[in-house]
Amino acid sequence: MTIRGAPAWRLVTTLAAAGGMAGLLIVVVFEWAEPRIEAHRAAVLAAAIDNVLASPAHYDTLYVVDGALRETPPEGVLERDLERVFLGYDESDVPVGFAVTGGEPGYQDIIQLIFGYDPGSGEVVGMEVLESKETPGLGDKIEKDAEFVAEFDGVQTPLVGVKQGAGQGDPSEVDMITGATISSRTVIAIINNRLEELGPLLDTYPATVKR
């Protein structure tokens, strides 16, 4: 059988070869790009940890395993497959707080953020949005509105979202953004939910650490 003068087997061979080359190219590009992507993500995360913990001298990565914090991942388990928190220290090696990541659905999509938490005072000491697709000009104010972001520096937990101007001066209150209530409430919920899950571990560290 031929198609317009070309044997069918030749066309099939040509298509198979082209498909194989395309597949090989995809694999090569992926292997080239993956470590660079991971390096960029690590750099972004390190900068965010520095931000929400007010520039600690250094920090440790701790792994959440079986309801406890570990300084090393279990044997045979990849670090990227484990939940992590980051404990910052000042120049005298005194702990200054934990950096914790979290994410939940906002108005448009998942909002990913990181926040600093001081177990000694029970306060959130910083917040940064890592990833968001919230509505430009409205929902994206959760990361672009400096006043809103600043509210997460020294606010008592658990956080309470209030409409702007409706607060009673409670140290746990966070003024939500007018026109972006859902996005604002999501940020507050992420922090509260993460602390509900991890708070007992963070509050009692290093008693819970298992090597």
Residue 109 structural domain: 53-204
Q: Is 14 domain-assigned? A: no
Q: What is the mean pLDDT of residues 87-92?
A: 94
Per-residue pLDDT tens digits for 191-210: 999 999 999 999 998 755 44
Q: Is 150 domain-assigned? A: yes
Burial (CB < 10 A; 0-12, 13-18, 19+), residue 89, is middle
**Predicted local confidence at residue 169, as pLDDT:** 85
Per-residue pLDDT tens digits for 106-154: 999 999 999 999 999 999 999 999 999 999 999 999 999 999 999 999 9
**Predicted local confidence at residue 37, as pLDDT:** 64
Dist. CA 161–CA 158, nearest whole Å = 10
Give the number of domains in the chain: 1
Q: Is 160 domain-assigned? A: yes
Q: Is 74 domain-assigned? A: yes
For the chain, percent of residues with pLDDT exceeding 70: 83
Q: Is 133 domain-assigned? A: yes
Q: Using alpha carbons only, what angle is made at residue 152 by residues 44 and 65, rounded to the nearest 5 degrees?
A: 60
Average pLDDT score, the chain: 88
pTM given for the model? 0.82
